[in-house]
A and B are shown apart, each in its own frame.
Chain A
Amino acid sequence: MRVASRLIAAQSRPTRGLRSLALLSAAALGAGYGLAFFSAPIEADQGFVQKIFYLHVPLAITTLVGFVAGGLLAAQHLRTGDRRWDVRSYVAIHVSTVFAVAALGTGSIWARASWGHWWVWQEPTLVSFLIVFLLYACYQPLRFAIVDPERQARYASVFAIVAAAFVPVNFVAVRMAQSFTHPRVLTDTGGSMPGSMRLAFVACLGAIGLLHVTLCRLELDAKRVRMRARRMAMESERAAFAAPAAAAPAPPSAAAPGVLVAGGR
């Protein structure tokens, strides 16, 4: 047991892959936001408050991509039956939900600074993002309401696929709707951004994407350690239960030790 727990303790420390990924995302975030604050020009229309754009838009894009990725991973789970895909799908959706909260929070602050309102219900972009967020907010309660792990994974995968299909449909519908106040960024003209602004935006988008991947990796590693610990605890309990039964003198009518242990449960 001592060896097992040392093994788990060693595994719970950040692995080399995770550590280098974390360092890479920290460097990318530093470079991206360095460009956003010190190289990209101050926008003429909104002024300094437009710097929120470099955080809010990459967060929103990464969130939606993460939700779609969660659906694709869930489809892979249903196709192969391998539980690892379900765990990956769960983690992608979990991290994306956290990013969605950040996108809603930063967007609301930006709206207050530029439009004078924390929220505009007439704006389809805002309301559709909120609907997508609320849809995914149901994912965890639905998942953990099911006790049987097999059924839990299967139902969660179906939900993830349906919800992921909803994301691009929603995106297209919003594009087709008339914008009220929210600007459109991903247009043919690139939202009319000058070169240095576009470079800073792409760098920030890459950095936020990398951070998403790092957080997914962190949670996956933590989950792996927890699962292994649970398995080991169950095995040690089983061994502790089986040991006295094996040590006890067998009654004359006992057929085999295995039968005795099974009957003892």
Chain B
Amino acid sequence: MPALGLHAAWPYVAAAYVVFLVLVVAYVAIVASKITRLERRLDGRDAGHGAAGRP
């Protein structure tokens, strides 16, 4: 197959780099969302404990 010109090649190059970027960002977002959910659950626990402790 003959080499693609710059005009025809750049969408492939961009697609490859975008695939990688999307995967890395999705991975980091999933890890971050898990930590945020944990923090929220602990905050809820705190609020519950505070309400229970109040007269």
Q: Chain A: residues with CB nearer than 8 A to chain B?
A: 1-2, 4-5, 8-9, 12, 45-49, 51-52, 55-56, 59, 95, 98, 101-102, 105-106, 109-110, 112-116, 211, 215, 218-219, 222, 225-226, 229, 233, 236
Contact = CB atoms under 8 A, between A and B. Distances in A.
B19 A5 contact: no
Nearest 7 A/B pairs, CB to CB: A5-B42, A47-B3, A113-B12, A48-B9, A49-B9, A106-B16, A105-B19
Contact of A113 (B9, B20, B28, B42): B9
A98 B42 contact: no
Given A12-B39, A56-B16, A225-B38, A49 B3 contact: yes
Interface in B2-52: 3-6, 9-10, 12-13, 15-17, 19-20, 23-24, 27-28, 31, 34-35, 38-39, 42-43, 45-46, 49-50
Contact of B31 (A48, A49, A55, A222): A222
A208 to B, nearest CB: 9
Given A49-B9, A106-B20, A218-B31, 15 more contacts: A1-B45, A1-B49, A8-B38, A8-B42, A12-B35, A12-B38, A47-B9, A48-B4, A95-B27, A102-B23, A105-B20, A110-B12, A116-B1, A218-B28, A233-B45
Tell me if B's interface is mostly helix, strand, loop or mixed: helix
Contact of A229 (B19, B42, B50): B42
Nearest to A112: B12
Contacts of B50: 2
A175 B17 CA distance: 27
B31 to A, nearest CB: 5
B41 to A, nearest CB: 8
Nearest to A110: B16
Contacts of A102: 19-20, 23-24
A115 B1 CA distance: 6
6 contacts: A5-B46, A47-B5, A49-B4, A49-B12, A55-B17, A229-B42
Contacts of B15: 109
Contacts of A101: 23
A46 B38 contact: no
Interface core residue of B3, B13, B16 (most chain A CB under 10 Å): B16
A12 to B, nearest CB: 5
Nearest to A230: B38
Contacts of B28: 215, 218
